[in-house]
Amino acid sequence: MVYEIRTYRLKNGAIPAYLKVVEEEGIAIQKKHLGELIGYFFSEIGVINEIVHIWGFSSLDDREARRGRLMADADWQAFLPKIRDLIEVAENKIMKPAAFSPTGGSRPV
């Protein structure tokens, strides 16, 4: 299992608008293609105006195929402009769980 952790720094004050449009339109499209949503979060204390969402995939190949289908979806392409201008910085990480992680993992090779 691999986890994709996507972190977006939004424009000041944009969290409510971002969450509204994702909840109303975007998340259904993402779930249709990406599958396992681990969590979707926004910052309350610390770095402000930050969104973090975590998706689980069986492998990097699974992630690549699923993200490819998402990007090819006409509904997703129509949705992207609704959030694109709200995002100032985007960061993406791929993480693997340790063997003792509650999510299950494997030993590093």
| Domain parsing of the chain, residue ranges | 2-95
Q: What is the pLDDT along the chain (109 residues), one digit of tens a residue?
A: 999 999 999 999 999 999 999 999 999 999 999 989 999 999 999 989 999 999 999 999 999 999 999 999 999 999 999 999 999 999 999 999 888 888 766 544 4
pTM, rounded to two decimals = 0.88
pLDDT on residue 105: 63
CA angle at residue 20 from 15 to 25, to 5 degrees?
A: 130
Q: Which residue has the tokens 């969104």?
A: 51
φ and ψ at residue 18, rounded to 5 degrees: -60, -50
Output the six-digit token pair for 93: 């990480």
Length of the chain (residues):
109
| Per-residue model confidence (pLDDT) at position 101 | 86
Class assignment of domain 2-95?
Answer: alpha beta
Position 104 scores a pLDDT of: 63
Distance CA 12, CA 9 (A): 9
